[in-house]
């Protein structure tokens, strides 16, 4: 066991993942399994939920992998009943499932609003309420990680309902961290920006068409445009997000609670500053001499 593993104190713990079968969730499940953590996961993706079993068990830990859509209150409740039957206590909860479409707020329906709020916020309340009694049974506290987004930290045109729901997750996380601090139950929230994932390619509204257009540019053009937006010039991958979860749920983070951790390669720090080409450098807009070259003689 390495020094880091010894200090992380994760081996033998029990974790519950909401959305732990594919993409970011799968990466988190596998990192935790590698660290010796037993897993209970629910996911709407039945194939992914079946496939993850052998991958987790290969690390010598156990897994309960259920199919449940968080939009279905009864299905999520039934998953937590299974968790209670499986584990005598839980140490870790990670609420990963979430997602959005894109489009004008005024054209959306009440049904769409309700779905977005359930998918990105309300189920997190249900899941947290169900896990706390199970964490209390550990006798030594425990930890929860939620997922918000950069869109909860800026005016995100086209994503208004999602942005509002995710901002609620952020302040819910801070508030519960204060409520549960004296019980050594830590709760933090991760804010990704642009991380290619399963859900990322399946967003509704006009997002799919936008992404298809983006996919039609050359790899060099894509790298150049990414470099303009992301200070570290590369989008974090699912393993980068999973590594952050691993740190937050480990004893290495034992004094960290109520915090938002941006895993975005620096985009939240640059806050709208773009690294413009032609040597213009960072700023909210390119230098006047570059505008013709960029926008083809506008004006
Ligand atoms: N990928 C990004 O760039 C990005 C950016 C900002 C925020 N986020 C947030 O990170 C989290 C994961 O994002 P993602 O969607 O890109 O990851 P993802 O596509 O890897 O999905 C994670 C897992 O959640 C499951 N899932 C999705 N909806 C579900 C539902 N209704 N019920 C049960 N399981 C469900 C998926 O099947 C998948 O296995 C979300 O909360 C998302 O809002 C992601």
Q: How far is the CA of 255 from the centre of ligand 1 (A)?
A: 27
8 A C-beta contact, residue 63 and residue 53: yes
pLDDT value of position 86: 97
Q: Which of 211, 243, 246, 220 is closest to 100 using CA atoms?
A: 211
Average pLDDT, rounded, for the chain: 94
pLDDT value of position 204: 67
User: Is the dihedral angle over the CA atoms 226, 98, 55, 261 positive or is it negative?
Assistant: positive
Supply the residue whose CA is at minimum distance from atom 37 of ligand 1.
45
Ligand 1 pocket, Cβ-based, cut-off 6 angstroms: 19, 21-25, 43-45, 48, 69-71, 96-99, 119, 147, 149, 192-195, 197-200
pLDDT value of position 76: 98
pLDDT value of position 214: 76
pLDDT tens-digit profile of 87-136? 999 999 999 999 999 999 999 999 999 999 999 999 999 999 999 999 99
Domain ranges of the chain: 3-201+235-266
pLDDT value of position 296: 78
* Fold for the domain defined by 3-201+235-266: Rossmann fold (3.40.50)
Instruction: Please report, rounded to a whole number, the percentage of residues in the chain having pLDDT higher than 90.
Output: 81
168 vs 148: CA distance, rounded Å = 9
Which atom of ligand 1 sits closest to the CA of residue 69?
32
Q: Could you say which residues of the chain have pLDDT below 70?
A: 1, 200-205, 297-299
User: Ligand 1 test: best mutation among 194, 197, 264, most atoms within 8 Å of CB?
Assistant: 197
pLDDT tens-digit profile of 160-188? 999 999 999 999 999 999 999 999 999 99
């Amino acid at each position: 066991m390495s020094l880091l593993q010894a200090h992380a104190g994760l081996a033998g713990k029990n974790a519950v993942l909401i959305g732990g079968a594919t993409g970011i969730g799968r990466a988190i499940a596998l990192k935790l399994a590698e660290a010796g953590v037993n897993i209970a996961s629910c996911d709407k993706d039945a194939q992914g939920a079946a496939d993850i079993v052998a991958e987790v068990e290969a690390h010598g830990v156990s897994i309960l992998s259920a199919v449940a859509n968080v939009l279905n209150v009864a299905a999520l409740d039934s998953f937590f009943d299974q968790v209670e039957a499986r584990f005598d206590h839980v140490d870790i909860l990670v609420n990963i499932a979430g997602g959005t479409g894109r489009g004008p707020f005024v054209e959306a329906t009440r049904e769409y609003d309700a779905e977005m709020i359930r998918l990105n916020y309300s189920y997190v309340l249900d899941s947290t309420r169900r896990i706390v009694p199970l964490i209390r049974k550990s006798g030594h506290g425990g930890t929860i990680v939620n997922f918000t987004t950069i869109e909860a930290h800026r005016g995100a045109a086209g994503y208004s309902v999602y942005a509002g729901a995710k901002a609620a997750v952020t302040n819910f996380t801070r508030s519960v961290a204060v409520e549960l601090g004296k019980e050594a139950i830590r709760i933090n929230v991760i804010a990704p920006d642009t991380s290619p994932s399963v859900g990322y390619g399946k967003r509704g509204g006009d997002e799919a068409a936008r992404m298809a257009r983006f996919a039609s540019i050359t790899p060099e053009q894509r790298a150049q445009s990414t470099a303009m937006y992301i200070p570290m010039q590369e989008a974090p991958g699912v393993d980068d997000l999973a590594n952050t979860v691993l740190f937050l749920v480990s004893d290495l983070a034992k004094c960290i609670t109520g915090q938002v951790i941006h895993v975005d390669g620096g985009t939240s720090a640059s806050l709208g500053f773009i690294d413009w080409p032609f040597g213009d450098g960072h700023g909210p807009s390119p230098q006047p001499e570059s505008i013709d070259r960029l926008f083809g003689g506008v004006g």
